[in-house]
Structure 1
Amino acid sequence: MKNALLTLLCYLCCLQLFADEQTIIPNLKFGKPTMEELTMTTYAPDSNATAVILCKLTNVSYKWGLESFRLVSEYKVKIKVLKPEGTSYANVTIPYYELANNTMKENIIGLDASAYNMENGKMVRTKMKKDMVFKERLNENQMTLKFSIPQVKAGTLIEYEYRLESDFFFTIDSWKAQSDIPTLYAEYDIIIPEYFKFNTDMRGMESLETKSESTSLSLSIGGQFFQCTGSHMNFRGTQLPALKDDSYVWCADDYCTQVNLELLGIDFPGSLYQSFTKSWEQIDEALLKDNEFGGRLKMSNPLKEEMNALHLEQMKGTEEKICAIYTLLKNKVKWNEKYNLYGKAPKQILKEGTGSNADLNFILISMLTDAGIPAYPVVMSRRNMGILPLTHPSLQKLNTFIVGIAHTDTTLVYLDSSVEDGYLNVLPPLLMTNRARVIIPGNHSQWVNLEALGTNQLRSAVIASISPEGTISGTRETLYAGQYASRLRNKFRTAKDSTDFVNKLASEENIQVKSLRIEGRNGFSPQVREVMEFEKQSTVNDQFIYVNPLVFLHVSESPFKQSERKLPVEFPYTDHLSLTANLTIPEGYVVDEKPEGLRVQTGDEKVFCRYTITQQNNQVTLRYLFRLQKLLFLNTDYPELQQLWEIIVKKNNEIMVLKKL
């Protein structure tokens, strides 16, 4: 009995030791790594992680500077590198502000960084030297500090800490609990004096432990100590998963677990309350008063002489005039692939022959206005830069604009000077945001949703015959509209030459292209028409021919292979696809098996697919229709979306069997 008890006790101890090896307890001390941290090789909640943030501590407080308050933010970060790919986290970039023509600035103080490695059973610490730290000015207001921690490899523990002191005490940066690698422990501690009134906004997919209480503060102002009360808030998160962009999320940061603090006002004793809350009308006014925005809207047409040669008065309608003006602009100035909100002087842009979308858009507005066509800036945040906050207006979140053009007295069409392959209302998808603001002077500004802008449609008809050798020979006539036309033009424009374009098409569709004619490929127009003669080989086995009656598939495999998904699914634009195939089966053959018809849709009917196949004598006709009318699917919708896509993919890959008589 005694031996049995000892055996059980040893077994329980072993279990506890095993559990301890699998669980890393957050160590909040810096400069003293634990053996568990140093010897850690994997992170159990995410075995694929290349690195893991073991600890991220952020403390924010206020102090009195020489003449006003300063905001003090202290950062401490501890990262364990698990795989060679994780060594990139030893390269750190810290953005900060240092106004070139202003005394207001931010200072980074007390930067300290080290790498810890186990060598021959002993811990070796390598401290970062000053020559590994670099500063770089991005523009007249923004700076970056970059540093690289030495001796980092798989198995290294990284630690770094610094303090940022800021004269911009009225702005507290968003605190993000998550990163693109998993986080074991994150803590945000902030103390705000009673004079500052902030609104607290928490968002994200993961929960945080929160505490909020009043506290007593002692501030040293001019050598004297003043007592006041303050708000002490604390936010903690544990075992937070990595948050990574994927092809079906525009901006992962939109769903990051985070804390945002917006300054509502300042209330100093003996002074009037100063409000910092702005309305969108105030932001409109601020933009219109800005020389690099509103000033550009007032400029005269710099291409007036060239535009006179277009003879716009002889053109039939507004759309034709808009297209002529836009084509003239694009022939004069090229887009430099940068998106901006503010513009440079038009003389400089025309001299250089290149500019940002904002630079070109300001010129476009002046040209349209000169032609008597009202045009307005439509400000936004690009979809890959995050959504505009709903809780409060923010000028800082605006990062570009497009042009809204009066097509009729009551409707606007939209165009951006970055468009190379699109048309009116055919924008790059990253500009098709659901929240954009048309700025119209006189307090007539309005919000618009650009998500479902335009009609994106592909209509294709195949007429072909099948030979006894299994060769499908025929023609495909396709009409591309909206984003489909834009994508086709882009493929042709970025190909080396027409031969390269045809070779890629043949490879993608597994066909031989006998001839190809494309109409509307180079023009600024709403549609592209394609006529192609092709051959495609089917599988032949003894007395059977195996043919996919769709010939040209909509989808061959599902993009939704994750068993679970925490992030929503965001599609870039609405979609309408119609395929028809009329196939003549060879003489002496009959249809032995053919796919069954299908009609499937989501519960809200926003995604729909229909597959119909019929036979009359030796003719087999297939009609396929797909519609996508909804762009955002929550993670709770994912199982239904995944299942529907699997059904559609399976139907796309089904085979018709022809049997020889």
Structure 2
Amino acid sequence: MEELNMAVYEPDSSATAVILCKLTDVSYKWGIESFRLVSEYKVKIKVLKPEGTSYADVTIPYYELPNNAMKENIIGLDASAYNLENGKIVRTKMKRDVVFKERVGESRMNLKFSIPQVKAGTLIEYEYRIESDFFFSIDSWKAQSDIPILYTEYNVTIPEYFKFNIEMHGAEKLETVNENASLNLSIGSQLLRCSGTHLNFQGNQLPALKDDSHVWCADDYCTQVNLELQGIDFPGSLYKSFTQSWEQIDETLLKDSDFGSRLKMNNPLKEEMTALHLEQMKGADEKICAIYTFLKNKVRWNEKYALYSKSPKQVLKEGTGSNADINFILISMLKDAGIPAYPAVMSRRDMGILPYSHPSIQKLNTFVVAISPTDSTLVYLDSSVENGYLNVLPPVLMTNRARIIAPDNHSQWVNLENVGANLLRSSVKAGISSEGVVTGTRETVYIGQYASRLRNKYRTAKDSTEFASKLASEENIQVKKLQMEGRTHFSPQVYELVEFEKQYTVNDQFIYVNPLVFLHVSESPFKQSERKLPVEFPYTDQVSLTINLTIPEGYTVDEKPENQRLQTSDGQVLCRYIITQQNNQVTLRYSFRLQKLLFLHTDYPELQQLWELIAKKNNEMMVLKKL
């Protein structure tokens, strides 16, 4: 009754729901021919607000290999909703007709169900058991969720034959017990007694792990327990090691029919590629761009990232494919042109950090193409790129841990965070009228991610008129003329010229003008008073703005913003604002530089304060007084 009467979770009054109890028990049993892993789950959730009703929709992922070679079975699913009606507890059991399965990959399945009669105030309970043939793999146990957890417990009982490496990480404290255990295993009609290990982890009042802005994958920072099988030592059998090195994973990939074999295939577009006349091109970069553009006109990215590929013949016939499908064809074309190219495998930033110390092929989920135009240089491309250039990758692929897979033990780790420069350089020349209208031109060069973002805006607009209209709305200007170069080309930069008018506030005595005209930071993105997670920026960033303003005749500068230098204590974020006046000319030089991508949560107060100061500086006005 107390749980049903709960209206708010005191430690976090903003919570839409709270997990009151989550129990996980993992153990082993003997199947028909081998061990099976048994995982039992019991969950109790209190819905506090209407938005929390989404926790009545549950998805359970599990594995089922083709032809039932190995699989997992979900057994004993039971779910109920409890509501308080007229002072009485009313229980509504879930019926089987709201439970269904769906295949989400060649070996991955989802079991989904929706618990009925759930509203604000409802208590949800459900339990189930998974019996798995994959006895060598225990799922990571995550102690936190996106809502608070009042109590959670994880029990694992492991027979002595299995040797696991145990790893814990995360900021929240867990009570832990590691003790010896005596086990009885039924093998047919016989009872096998053996020793083992019992692990127990308990968490109390764990905060929600919210998916904050400026974080790629919140799970990277979740308090969790990982068990990695090192080996199996059965009596009378040789010890079998399950520990892998990255070099072994390299070999596994190179031997795989859907990966390594694709690296050996002949160029499927060899004959058509002769029309490019690559032999007449001067540099490798020109050839790479020509080949990439040619391929992208043949095959469209289907917005899916992958590690393995379909048949290239099928991909070309369909005219669409994943980034892996198209990347393998690109590699074959580049090799055919005499340009070495290799896959650089990775875990996407939004899928979690790739563990150096615990090699795992399961952690890999896609790759980009590493190209070697000379013996000493590497450039990177991915077929998901629509609006970029060499070394201008989608930010989700700009990981600091990618591994170039090359034969003959030539694989290597590479960092893709800073492979290209991202620069916006702009110059404004304008005059201010006595009516407070700023009229002039803005010339801007967009490089790297800035060029990619601008091209994307242009491509998603219906036409150039709509693009200009959006620009006018965003910047609060009238666009008199818009000229662009490189907006649709596969090229390193975009040039833009805008002729504009912008109205500022004016009265009988004063004109109020923002000398920046076009703001860099209008408001701080960091609104939270405190933060649990680090701050991750997508890429390094550099902005350089020069504004020259002519003040109208009969006016003088009464007030102008002060020069200011703003930076973090380590100098990795720097903003300069320098304004000068000579006669009727006011010149503002503004620059911003971001050189570091990861800031700890302890750095958050400094970052928050800095961005607030930068936004405030961006919004400061210059006052012109009538003589």
Measure the CA separation in 2 of the matches of 1:201 and 1:541.
68
Distance 1:246 1:211 in 2: 32
2:287 and 2:130 map into 1 onto residues whose CA distance is 54
Show the counterpart of 2:581. Answer: 615
Structure 1 distance, partners of 2:412, 2:98, is: 50
Give, in whole Å, the separation in 1 of the partners of 2:445 and 2:431.
22
Q: Distance in 1 between matches of 2:12 and 2:373?
A: 53
Amino acid at match of 1:571: F
What is the CA–CA distance in structure 1 between the aligned matches of 2:69 and 2:573, rounded to whole Å? Answer: 56
Q: 1:218 aligns with which of 184, 190, 209?
A: 184
* Percent sequence identity over aligned pairs: 80
TM-score (ref. length: structure 1) = 0.94
**What secondary structure, in the 3-state scheme, does the structure 1 residue paired with 2:614 have?**
helix
Deviates more, 1:103-112 or 1:375-384: 103-112
User: 98, 113, 119: which is aligned to 1:153?
Assistant: 119
Contact in 1 for aligned 2:368/2:382 (Cα 8 Å) = yes
* CA distances 1:483-503 after superposition (whole Å, capped 9, x unpaired): 000000000001111111111
Distance across 1 between alignment mates of 2:70 and 2:367: 29
Q: Separation in 2 of the partners of 1:546 and 1:255? A: 47
How far is the alpha carbon of 1:203 from its aligned partner?
1.0
Aligned residue for 1:345? 311
SS at match of 2:58: strand
Q: 2:218 corresponds to which residue?
A: 252
Task: Determine the structure 1 residue equivalent to 2:96.
Answer: 130
The one-letter code matched in structure 2 to 1:549 is: P
Aligned ranges for residues 474-493 of structure 1 at < 5 Å?
474-493=440-459
What's the offset of the Cα at 1:562? 1.1
2:242 is the counterpart of 1:289: no
Counterpart Cα distance in 2 of 1:260 and 1:390? 15
The answer to whether the 8 A contact 2:436-2:506 is kept is: yes
Shift of 1:102: 4.0
Aligned to 1:646: 612
Aligned to 1:380: 346
- 1:97 deviation in Å? 1.1
Query: How many Å apart are 1:244 and its aligned residue?
Result: 2.0
1:239 aligns with 2:205: yes
Q: Distance in 2 between matches of 1:201 and 1:166?
A: 22
Task: Give ranges in structure 2 of 5+ residues lacking alignment.
Answer: none
Deviations 1:151-200 (A, max 9, x none): 11111100000010001000000111111111111110111011000001
Deviations 1:101-135 (A, max 9, x none): 24311111110000000111100000111111111
- What CA distance in whole angstroms lies between the structure 1 residues aligned with 2:259 and 2:207? 41
Alignment counterpart, residue 593 of structure 1, candidates 556, 559, 565? 559
Letter in 2 for 1:606: Q
Q: Distance in 2 between matches of 1:191 and 1:497?
A: 63
SS in structure 1 at match of 2:119: coil
- Alignment partners' CA distance in 2, 1:461 and 1:103: 65
Deviation at 1:238, TM superposition (A): 1.1
Where do residues 92-241 of structure 1 align in structure 2 (5 Å cutoff)? Answer: 92-241=58-207
Deviation at 1:389, TM superposition (A): 1.6
Matched, 1:45 2:11: yes
Out of 308, 333, 340, the residue aligned to residue 367 of structure 1 is 333
Q: Which moved more, 1:591-600 or 1:239-248?
A: 239-248
1:81-96 aligned at under 5 Å gives the runs 81-96=47-62
Q: Structure 1 runs of 4+ off > 4 angstroms?
A: none
The residue number in structure 1 matching 2:571 is: 605
C-alpha distance in structure 2 between counterparts of 1:342 and 1:390, whole Å: 21
1:390-405 maps to which residues of 2 (within 5 A)?
A: 390-405=356-371
How many angstroms does 1:529 deviate by? Answer: 0.4
Q: Which residue in the other structure is 1:507 paired with?
A: 473
Q: Which amino acid aligns with 1:365?
A: I
Question: Which residue type is aligned with residue 516 of structure 1?
Answer: L
5 Å-filtered alignment, 1:494-573, equals 494-573=460-539
Q: How far apart in 2 are the matches of 1:243 and 1:612? A: 41
Pairing 1:440–2:406 present: yes
Q: Does 1:58 align with 2:36?
A: no
CA distance in 1, matches of 2:563, 2:142: 49
Letter in 2 for 1:313: E
Instruction: Give a deviation string over 1:290-338, Cα, whole Å, max 9, x none.
Output: 0000011111111111101101000000000000000000000000000
CA separation in 2, counterparts of 1:346 and 1:177? 43
The 3-state SS of whatever aligns with 1:599 is strand
Amino acid at match of 1:318: A
Q: C-alpha separation between the residues in 1 aligned to 2:10 and 2:467?
A: 47
Once the two structures are superposed, residues 463-505 of structure 1 have per-residue CA deviations (whole angstroms, 9 ceiling, x without a partner) of 0000000000000000000000000000000111111111111
SS of equivalent to 2:66: coil
For each residue in 1:502-546, what CA deviation from the matched residue of structure 2 results, as whole angstroms up to 9, or x when unmatched? 111101100000000000011100000001100001111220000
One-letter amino acid of the counterpart of residue 268, structure 2:
P
Question: Deviations along 1:186-233, whole A, 9 cap, x unmatched?
Answer: 110111011000001111121111111111111112321121111111
How far apart are the structure 2 equivalents of 1:613 and 1:148?
61
Query: Equivalent residue for 1:36?
Result: 2
Contact 2:399–2:417, Cα closer than 8 Å, also in 1: yes
Higher mean alpha-carbon deviation, 133-142 vs 180-189, is at 133-142
Specify the code of the residue in structure 1 equivalent to 2:72: E
Query: Counterpart of 1:407 in 2: which secondary structure?
Result: strand
- Which residue type is aligned with residue 258 of structure 2? E
Q: 1:600 is paired with a residue of what secondary structure?
A: strand
Residue 271 (structure 2) pairs with residue 305 (structure 1): yes
**Whole-Å separation in 1 of the counterparts to 2:270 and 2:213:** 43
What amino acid sits opposite 1:116 in the alignment?
Y
Distance in 2 of aligned mates of 1:41 and 1:91: 21
Partner SS state of residue 314, structure 2: helix
Name the counterpart of 1:318. 284
TM-score, normalised by the number of residues in structure 2: 0.99
Q: 2:28 touches 2:37 (CA, 8 Å); kept in 1?
A: yes
CA distance in 1, matches of 2:507, 2:155: 71
* Cα contact 2:43–2:125 (8 A) shared by 1: yes
3-state SS, counterpart of residue 396 of structure 1: helix
State the 1:146 CA deviation.
Answer: 0.8
Q: Deviations over 1:339-380 (max 9, x none)?
A: 000000011101110000000000000000110100000000
> Match of 1:574?
540
Q: Does the alignment pair 1:660 with 2:615?
A: no
On the 8 A contact 2:81/2:123 being kept in 1, the answer is yes
Distance in 2 separating the partners of 1:560 and 1:147 = 37
Would you say the 8 A contact 2:212–2:533 is kept in 1?
no
In 1, Cα distance between equivalents of 2:119 and 2:356: 43
SS at match of 2:418: coil
Separation (CA, whole Å) in 2 of partners of 1:552 and 1:138: 46
Cα RMSD over matched residues?
Answer: 0.8
CA distance in 2, matches of 1:361, 1:557: 39
Structure 1 gaps of 5+ residues are 1-34
Residue identity in the other structure for 1:648: I
Conserved 8 A contact 2:154-2:202? yes
Conserved? CA contact 2:217–2:352, under 8 Å? yes
Q: Residue 205 of structure 2 aligns to a residue in which SS?
A: strand
| Matched letter for residue 459 of structure 2 | R
